[in-house]
Amino acid sequence: MQVLIPSPLVSYTRRKNVEARGSTLGEMLLDLERQFPGIRFRMIDEQDRVRPHMRIFVNGEQEFSLKRPLNPDDEISIVQALSGG
Q: Is residue 48 part of a domain?
A: yes
Q: Is residue 85 part of a domain?
A: no
* Residue-range definition of the domain harbouring residue 67: 2-80
Percentage of the chain exceeding pLDDT 70: 96
| Mode of pairing for the β-strands spanning 75-80 and 54-58 | antiparallel
Does pLDDT of 64 surpass 70? yes
Q: Is residue 52 part of a domain?
A: yes
Q: Is residue 57 part of a domain?
A: yes
Q: Is 17 helix (H, G, I), strand (E, B) or coil?
A: strand
Our count of domains for the chain comes to: 1
Q: Is residue 6 part of a domain?
A: yes
Q: Give the residue-averaged pLDDT of 22-36.
A: 98
Q: Distance (Å, rounded) from C-alpha 77 to C-alpha 57?
A: 5
The mean predicted confidence, pLDDT, of the chain is 95
Per-residue model confidence (pLDDT) at position 3: 98
Per-residue model confidence (pLDDT) at position 83: 64
Q: Give the residue-averaged pLDDT of 60-80.
A: 96
Q: Is residue 29 part of a domain?
A: yes
Cβ 41 vs Cβ 47: under 8 Å: no
Q: Is residue 54 part of a domain?
A: yes
Give the domain CATH number at 56.
3.10.20.30
Q: Is residue 39 part of a domain?
A: yes
Q: Distance (Å, rounded) from C-alpha 75 to C-alpha 85?
A: 32
